[in-house]
């Protein structure tokens, strides 16, 4: 468990203050993207494809444009054509032509819900009615819904220009990329194995499920400058991508990040933003666009469904010796599934001498996938962590002990080769072993306990921070990282710690793209790590400047001035120490205001590990699975605000449980999404989950001034496998499909009973 | 949403006049938890919505042992399960009302609206059928009585003609040693639409431990709610035992014609129809046994 | 000389070798030396004069942030791997 | 287009009059006409609860009620929860327990929780979870929300120790049975 703040010499870090933006958020005053309004506001809506795969022969908009109240209608022809190649846009690499074609289809629609046209009107109702008047002539094509179909020779082709290295420059294909990771000698490895388990897994496409639909207000000025108000994980990404799609200079766009109602990776790209600007340009009015829930589910980026074949071998005494993995992920309509991450995470927690991983990124007629919390890792862990559980059972070993025996430590090579630096995987297993939950007895029929572990890289990237010292001795902290779950509080705590101030005397401000240096997305578990680092350095910069002022007042050299526990001190001749407050009052006379500044392109990212234990009870007749108890242990490096760290661990666990049991994209045979609402896209309610116990493990990241590790993602990785392992121990069937919904579990159970009966019959004969 | 006109009549006559005047272009609004969603989705596009929940006659719950229950079609679910008589005499219908959606939905959704929406998955409908409930329908041509099991004719379609309004349910008072129960299966513990729902009522002859009468009804396993006649008849006069219940379960399964969809497979629905028929009958029988003291 | 660990799919360029030696004070120079020894590396790793957006580099266990300008030590261990982001 | 209608209602204690189209939902009336944007739109189908308000003492989804239906009704929204100089105990506990991450679902949860405590000052964990089941939160896994509501009840019950017992009371699936046995405080 987390050592107390004091024990580690911290005054603020490790405590649980009320978040600075809290009152606004419990009183309804906080402004989210959809809450913005401006004089003359128009409402934009998007017309979406009713087909999964079709050529657009023509679009007639005149009837819609003629409806009273409609001010403008746009199609892809209103956006510039862009180069069809990978480019660096902001911090991410992507194909801008494909990005643009996802925002408004060009010539072809590639999934149910693909945007075809957009319009702006004086009321949202008029806009909706006008959509019905746009006439689109489609030539319907056969939909390609699964990686299996997409990879078959002669499968219908989604993107005529798509090629890959394996198949060569002349071959049209739906396979965008093939990645391979190789180590040792597989045959050798499997020869030395006493037990080998091989299974094929299928996981369904699932959505991040943030409660706030995407939104944007675009305001285009006649001077060619535009402002976008929107809920996003990265205001600078919105700026660079929108500029590219609109063909505008990046500097001509200012993005004002509103409060954000959840993202989980899904709000790291753009959909409505450039459309709202283009409609504003055409009409001369501010244009607000918000998605319906059906639009969010049909047309924003979920994460990949996948097919994974996983073969692993171990010796009698439980040493993993070899693993062979084949994985294909649904990219959606355009390349870019997280299969690379899947490949590099699937056995990342373990030291396996002989390894071969083949990974394929495959386009299908489903929405273009976007990042979702540890993208690609949960699908992968469903495969590897259930196979490992089966091997542990074969060896008669405790699942934690099996993982400890094979677990990665400092120096263990990662899948792509580089060795780990100091990591806390083993520590998460030890924490689970000593948890009250794991020590408790699980009794009763049809009940089972399952354990699984997970790995996530975490990312670093760029952040900027400014710390202003005010004359009353308080500070304001300016950052570009949007607050998606306690960011302001955590960053203010870091600044307060360094400055020796009360956390309530540091006022955090999340600002727009013109008011702070480049700051990458609040995502990739990078914000506490990288922005926290920038804030730490900016506060140190302010302290350095304050020391100079103290030195001037005391007629000493700056290096003679010390700073301890909020007080500036100097050795000898009885000089009375000064607090920041006292010094702040004298800034004007000692050289003027003080702003501490820092930017980072953070290095030395420490990866995150989590281990989760789940108890379930299965109704053997209806095959409904109840989660009785869940505990998650995670290495967080250093918990700044333990309350929000626990929140990340609990939230990821809850999403992982939803993924495990009921969440899935359900398409019919025509490729139409049949559950595009929260009634039938079944996320857990609070009646579906127990209290979620947490064990915060703190193995500091080497090199980071506070030892912070990203905490945002890894907790979603273990749950699907942990639940599958619990079900196996409850009713004796190994599930290989996600979600493990009652119909799927019933099928598996009936299959098992069936075979049991036939065996019994055979035995009886 | 398309433009609509809103009317809020205070009497059944006024409501029927409005509905008759606009025919296909009018749609009654009660809790709105189905209708407003359908208007937004554009699947129903009436010019007039006629809000019937301010009609006192449609909001009443009147019970007497002599006349049974008059349940206004516009009574919201929350008022159904907060009513003492409902708890005591119609626990199955009460629990069905308590299962619909969330508290927020139960505050608005009515039993009548649940039926008139014409969904095969409506939770309260099998409970009503099990109780032998009848619908009092008033139209321009006067009034008629329709058994609940005959009310729905296809998904989203009912026997109501343009201008007709479902005013109330008439439910017989419970016989001695009788009770009812409703169970449904959903994958989550709240919010979902029934994947399978089973309502049952039983009247027991406790002298020689027999079922003298029973009614079993099913939800979400066919194009409309289903009254499982054979299953019901098979129970009449049978000794209370697993064999009788199992037989009824098999006949209930035989009465289904389920489909595969995002809520479940046909195979799963058939299987769970059997499971829930057993459980619901057992629950109703248990209640009927303990009910003897209260009657 | 630094040690460069060759990703599986580039080993065809090195005749199957998974580790080769190369010199250069930064990643750009290192790639030039690789190109000299095993023609084809530039095309695989570079675009518009810098590392391809889809490629990341790890030097002595730490992810580089400087692209071709990332410094390489006398006996560093260098890995090329796919770049990725998070949620 | 159908003509607009004048609606009179009591909103957060204020006699309020507004003009709306019959097709506008109560949620639109609150957000777009009255500029009370605290109630959020999450799904427009009554499945997420982000738009929950209390009408005549009942929690409901303002996205599934027409603005014109508000005539003569008493409506409470999140904006009416706090006093000028103090937060409602639920608001305070949500902050103390870090019960919100992104915060978009918070107004709806607060209103559902208020409706619960108004009817049942001493709910068990099972009763709390049942009352909040119509509100989806994707950030927290509900743990800290349930704790905050339990703590708020306990605080209100002024240390009788009776209110907001965690790990106590019926499981989720036993809720309906409790209603029938008339055990639920209403």
- ipTM score of complex: 0.96
A435-470 residue pLDDT tens: 999 999 999 999 999 999 999 999 999 999 999 999
The distance in angstroms from the start CA to the end CA of chain C is: 38
Does B107 sit within 8 Å of D134, measured CB to CB?
A: no
Pairing of strands C55-59, C50-51: unpaired
Domain membership flag for residue A362: no
- Chain B residues interacting with chain D (CB cutoff of 8 angstroms): 1-6, 8, 29, 31-33, 36-37, 39-40, 49, 51, 78, 81-82, 84, 87, 91, 94-95, 98-99, 101-105, 107-108, 189-191
Domain containing C10 equals 2-82
Report domain B178-294's class. alpha beta
DSSP, residue by residue, A169-198:
TT---SEEEEEEEEES-HHHHHHT-SEEEE
Q: What is the pLDDT of residue A26?
A: 98
Alpha-carbon distance of C53 to C42, in angstroms, equals 14
DSSP, residue by residue, A594-636:
EEEEEEEEE--PPPEEEEEEEEEEE-TTT--EEEEEEEEEEE-
Q: What is the pLDDT of residue B83?
A: 96
Check if D60 contacts A (Cβ < 8 Å): no
* Alpha-carbon torsion angle B115, B121, B126, B128, nearest 10: -20
Average pLDDT over residues B113-128: 97
Domain membership flag for residue A523: yes
Domain membership flag for residue A596: yes
> Does residue B85 surpass a pLDDT of 50?
yes
Q: What is the pLDDT of residue A572?
A: 76
Phi, psi for residue A727 in degrees, rounded to 5? -60, -40
- A592 with A615, same domain: the answer is no
- A469 with A591, same domain: the answer is yes
Domain membership flag for residue C61: yes
Query: How many structural domains are present in chain A?
Result: 2
Residue D61: strand, helix, or coil: strand
Give CA A717 to chain center in angstroms: 11
CATH number at residue A466: 3.30.365.10
Q: What is the pLDDT of residue A573?
A: 74
- A744 with A614, same domain: the answer is yes
Right CATH number for B1-51 from 3.40.50.1000, 3.40.980.10, 3.30.43.10, 3.30.1950.10? 3.30.43.10
Q: Which residue has the tokens 């994460």?
A: A303
Domain final position from A579, A602, A625: A602
Average pLDDT over residues B234-257: 98
Alpha-carbon distance of A480 to A467, in angstroms, equals 13
Average pLDDT over residues A193-222: 98
Does D100 sit within 8 Å of A26, measured CB to CB?
A: yes
Q: What is the pLDDT of residue A554?
A: 93
* Mean pLDDT taken over chain B: 96
Domain membership flag for residue A82: no
User: Measuring CA to CA, which residue among D102, D81, D92 is closest to residue D149?
Assistant: D92
Average pLDDT over residues B3-10: 97
Token pair of A274, please? 């450039």
Partners of residue A631 on adjacent β-strands: A613, A693
Alpha-carbon distance of A53 to A139, in angstroms, equals 9
Q: Please, which chains are in contact with A (at least 3 CB pairs closer than 8 A)?
A: B, C, D
Q: What is the pLDDT of residue A440?
A: 98
Residue C25: strand, helix, or coil: coil
Q: What is the pLDDT of residue A432?
A: 98
Counting every residue, how long is chain D? 186
Q: Do chains A and D touch (3 or more CB pairs under 8 A)?
A: yes
Average pLDDT over residues A587-600: 96
Query: How many structural domains are present in chain C?
Result: 1
Q: What is the pLDDT of residue A8?
A: 65
- Banded model confidence at residue A651, pLDDT cuts 50, 70, 90: very high
| pTM, 2 dp | 0.96
Which of B188, B192, B262 minimises the CB distance to A666?
B262
A744-757 residue pLDDT tens: 999 999 998 887 77
User: Measuring CA to CA, which residue among B197, B234, B228, B198 is closest to residue B213?
Assistant: B234
User: Measuring CA to CA, which residue among B74, B77, B85, B31 is closest to residue B169?
Assistant: B74
Q: What is the pLDDT of residue D161?
A: 41
Domain membership flag for residue C87: no
Alpha-carbon distance of B43 to B64, in angstroms, equals 41
Average pLDDT over residues A322-341: 97
Question: Are residues A87 and A96 in contact, defined by beta-carbon separation less than 8 angstroms?
Answer: yes
Instruction: Please give the residue of chain A at the shortest CA–CA distance from D23.
Output: A125
Question: Are residues A110 and A51 in contact, defined by beta-carbon separation less than 8 angstroms?
Answer: no
From the candidates A385, A537, A646, A713, give the one annotated as an active-site residue: A713
Annotated catalytic residue A713? yes
Alpha-carbon distance of A34 to A213, in angstroms, equals 9
Domain membership flag for residue A474: yes
Find chain A residues with C-beta within 8 A of D144's C-beta.
643, 646-647, 650
Among B57-66, B120-129, D90-99, D157-166, the minimum mean pLDDT is found in D157-166
| C-beta atoms surrounding D118 within 10 Å | 12
Does A129 sit within 8 Å of B272, measured CB to CB?
A: no
Domain membership flag for residue A75: no
Domain containing A15 equals 6-30+460-602
Q: What is the pLDDT of residue A2?
A: 43
> Does residue B152 surpass a pLDDT of 50?
yes
Q: How many CB pairs under 8 A join A and B?
A: 58
Among A411-415, D26-30, D124-128, D171-175, the minimum mean pLDDT is found in D171-175
| C-beta atoms surrounding A315 within 10 Å | 14
User: Measuring CA to CA, which residue among A466, A465, A462 is closest to residue A522?
Assistant: A462
B168-194 residue pLDDT tens: 999 999 999 999 999 999 999 989 999
- A576 with A469, same domain: the answer is yes
CATH number at residue C31: 3.10.20.30
Q: What is the pLDDT of residue A314?
A: 98
Domain membership flag for residue A332: no
Q: What is the pLDDT of residue B293?
A: 45
* Mean pLDDT taken over chain A: 96
Alpha-carbon distance of A429 to B213, in angstroms, equals 59
Q: What is the pLDDT of residue A763?
A: 64
Domains and CATH numbers, chain D: 5-80 (3.10.20.30), 89-180 (1.10.150.120)
Residue A68: strand, helix, or coil: coil
Q: What is the pLDDT of residue A91?
A: 58
Measured CA to CA in angstroms, residue D149 lies from A218, A680, D100, D172 at distances of 39, 28, 12, 16
Does D96 sit within 8 Å of A261, measured CB to CB?
A: no
A144-180 residue pLDDT tens: 999 999 999 999 999 999 999 999 999 999 999 999 9
């Amino acid at each position: 468990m987390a050592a107390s703040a004091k024990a580690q010499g911290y005054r603020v870090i490790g405590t649980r203050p009320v978040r600075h933006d809290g009152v606004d958020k419990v009183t309804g005053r906080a402004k989210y993207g959809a809450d913005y309004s401006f004089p003359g506001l128009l409402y934009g809506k998007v017309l979406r494809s009713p087909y999964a795969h079709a050529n657009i022969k023509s679009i007639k908009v005149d009837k819609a444009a003629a409806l009273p109240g409609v001010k403008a209608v746009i199609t892809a022809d209103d956006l510039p054509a862009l180069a069809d190649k990978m480019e660096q846009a902001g911090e991410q690499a992507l194909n801008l032509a494909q990005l643009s074609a996802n925002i408004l289809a060009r010539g072809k629609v590639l999934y149910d819900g693909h945007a075809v046209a957009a319009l702006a009107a004086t009321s949202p109702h008029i806009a909706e009615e006008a959509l019905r008047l746009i006439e689109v002539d489609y030539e319907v094509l056969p939909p390609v819904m699964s990686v299996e179909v997409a990879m078959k020779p002669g499968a219908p082709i989604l993107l005529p220009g798509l090629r890959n290295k394996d198949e060569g420059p002349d071959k049209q294909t739906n396979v965008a990329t093939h990645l391979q990771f190789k180590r040792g000698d597989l045959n050798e490895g499997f020869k030395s194995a006493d037990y080998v388990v091989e299974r094929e897994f299928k996981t369904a496409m699932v959505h991040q499920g943030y409660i706030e639909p995407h939104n944007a207000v675009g305001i285009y000025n006649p001077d060619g400058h535009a402002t976008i108000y929107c809920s996003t994980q990265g205001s600078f990404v919105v700026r660079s991508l929108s500029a590219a799609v609109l063909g505008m200079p990046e500097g001509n766009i200012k993005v004002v990040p509103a409060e954000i109602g959840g993202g989980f990776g899904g709000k790291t790209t753009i959909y409505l933003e450039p459309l709202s600007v283009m409609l504003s340009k055409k009409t001369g009015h501010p244009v607000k666009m918000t998605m319906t829930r059906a639009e969010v589910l049909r047309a924003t980026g979920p994460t990949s469904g996948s097919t994974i074949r996983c073969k692993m071998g171990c010796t009698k005494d439980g040493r993993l010796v070899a693993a062979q993995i084949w994985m294909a992920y649904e990219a959606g309509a355009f390349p870019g599934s997280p299969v690379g991450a899947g490949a590099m995470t699937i056995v990342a927690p373990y030291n396996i001498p002989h390894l071969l991983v083949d990974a394929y990124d495959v386009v299908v007629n489903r929405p273009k996938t976007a990042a979702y919390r540890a993208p690609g890792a949960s699908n992968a862990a469903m495969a590897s962590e259930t196979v490992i559980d089966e091997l542990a059972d074969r060896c008669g070993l405790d699942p934690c002990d099996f993982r400890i025996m094979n677990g990665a430590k400092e120096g263990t090579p990662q899948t792509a080769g580089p060795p780990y630096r100091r990591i806390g995987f083993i520590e998460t297993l030890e924490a689970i072993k000593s948890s009250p939950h794991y020590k408790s007895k699980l009794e009763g029929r049809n009940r089972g306990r399952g354990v699984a572990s997970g790995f996530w890289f975490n990312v670093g990237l760029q952040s900027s921070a400014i710390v202003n010292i005010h004359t009353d001795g308080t500070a304001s902290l300016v950052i570009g990282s949007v607050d998606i779950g306690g960011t302001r509080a955590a960053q203010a705590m870091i600044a307060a710690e360094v400055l020796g101030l009360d956390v309530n005397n540091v006022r955090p401000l999340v600002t727009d793209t013109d008011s702070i240096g480049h700051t990458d997305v609040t995502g990739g578990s990078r914000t506490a790590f990288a922005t926290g680092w920038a804030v730490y350095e900016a506060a140190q910069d302010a302290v350095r400047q304050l020391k100079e002022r103290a030195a001037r007042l005391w007629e000493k050299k700056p290096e003679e001035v010390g700073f301890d526990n909020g007080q500036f001190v100097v050795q000898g001749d009885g000089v009375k120490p000064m607090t920041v407050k006292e010094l702040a009052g004298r800034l004007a006379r000692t050289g003027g205001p003080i702003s501490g500044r820092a930017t980072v392109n953070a290095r030395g990212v420490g990866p995150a590990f989590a281990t989760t234990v789940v108890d379930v009870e299965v109704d053997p007749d209806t095959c409904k699975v109840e989660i009785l108890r869940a505990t998650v242990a995670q290495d967080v490096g250093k918990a700044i605000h333990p309350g929000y760290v626990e929140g990340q661990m609990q939230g990821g666990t809850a999403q992982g449980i939803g993924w495990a049991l009921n969440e899935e994209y359900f398409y019919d045979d025509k490729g139409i999404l049949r559950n595009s609402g929260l009634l039938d896209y079944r996320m857990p309610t609070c009646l579906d989950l127990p209290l979620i116990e947490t064990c915060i493990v703190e193995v500091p990241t080497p090199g980071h001034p506070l030892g912070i590790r990203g905490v945002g993602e890894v907790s979603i990785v273990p749950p699907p496998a942990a639940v599958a392992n619990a079900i196996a121990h409850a009713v004796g069937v190994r599930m290989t499909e996600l979600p493990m919904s009652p119909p799927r579990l019933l099928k598996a159970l009936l299959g098992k009973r069936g075979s049991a009966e036939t065996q019994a019959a055979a035995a009886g004969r | 949403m398309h433009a609509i006109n809103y009317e809020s009549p205070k009497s059944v006559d006024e409501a029927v006049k409005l509905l008759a005047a606009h025919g296909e272009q009018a749609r009654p609004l009660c809790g709105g938890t189905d209708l407003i969603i359908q208007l937004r989705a554009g699947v129903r596009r009436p010019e007039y919505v006629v809000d019937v929940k301010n009609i006192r006659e449609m909001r009443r719950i009147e019970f007497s042992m002599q006349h049974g229950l008059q349940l206004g079609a516009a009574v919201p679910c929350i008022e159904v399960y907060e009513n003492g008589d409902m708890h005591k005499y119609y626990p199955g219908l009460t629990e069905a009302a308590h299962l619909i959606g969330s508290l927020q939905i139960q505050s608005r959704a009515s039993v009548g609206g649940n039926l008139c929406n014409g969904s095969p998955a409506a939770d309260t409908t099998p409970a009503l059928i099990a109780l032998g409930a009848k619908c009092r329908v008033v139209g321009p041509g006067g009034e008629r009585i329709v058994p609940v099991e005959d009310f729905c004719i296809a998904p989203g379609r009912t026997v109501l003609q343009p201008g007709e309004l479902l005013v109330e349910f008439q439910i017989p008072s419970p016989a001695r040693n009788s009770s009812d129960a409703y169970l449904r299966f959903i994958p989550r513990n709240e919010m979902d639409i029934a994947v399978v729902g089973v309502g049952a009522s039983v009247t027991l002859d406790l002298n020689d431990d027999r079922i003298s009468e029973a009614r079993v009804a099913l939800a979400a396993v066919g194009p409309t709610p289903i009254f499982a006649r054979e299953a019901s008849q098979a129970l009449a006069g049978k000794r209370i035992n697993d064999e009788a219940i199992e037989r009824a379960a098999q006949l209930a399964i035989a009465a289904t014609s389920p489909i595969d969809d995002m809520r479940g497979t046909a195979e799963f629905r058939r299987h769970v129809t059997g499971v829930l028929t057993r459980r619901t009958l057992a629950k109703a029988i248990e209640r009927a046994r303990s009910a003897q003291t209260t009657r | 000389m630094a040690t460069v660990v060759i990703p599986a799919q580039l080993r065809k360029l090195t005749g199957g070798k998974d580790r080769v030696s190369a010199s250069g004070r930064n990643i750009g120079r290192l790639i030039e030396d690789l190109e000299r020894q095993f023609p084809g590396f530039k095309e695989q790793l570079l675009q518009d004069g810098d590392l391809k957006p889809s490629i990341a580099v790890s030097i002595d266990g730490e992810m580089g942030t400087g692209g071709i300008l990332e410094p390489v030590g006398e006996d560093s261990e260098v890995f090329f791997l796919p770049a990725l982001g998070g949620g | 287009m159908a003509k607009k209608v004048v609606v009179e209602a009591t909103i957060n204690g204020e006699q309020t009059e507004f003009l709306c189209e019959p097709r506008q939902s109560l949620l639109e009336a609150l957000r777009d006409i009255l500029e009370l944007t605290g109630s959020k739109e999450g799904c427009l189908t009554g499945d997420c609860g982000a738009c929950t308000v209390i009408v005549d003492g009942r929690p409901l989804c303002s996205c599934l009620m027409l603005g014109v239906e508000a005539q003569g009704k008493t409506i409470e929204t999140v904006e009416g929860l706090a006093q000028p100089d103090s937060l409602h105990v639920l608001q305070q506990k949500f902050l103390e327990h870090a019960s919100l991450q992104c915060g978009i679902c918070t107004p709806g949860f607060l209103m559902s929780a208020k409706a619960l405590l108004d009817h049942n000052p001493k709910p068990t964990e099972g009763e709390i979870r049942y009352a909040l089941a119509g509100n989806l939160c994707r950030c927290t896994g509900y743990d800290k929300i349930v704790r905050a509501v339990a703590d708020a009840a306990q605080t209100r019950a002024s240390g009788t120790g009776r209110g907001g017992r965690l790990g106590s009371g019926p499981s989720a699936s036993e809720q309906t049975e409790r209603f029938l046995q008339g055990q639920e405080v209403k």
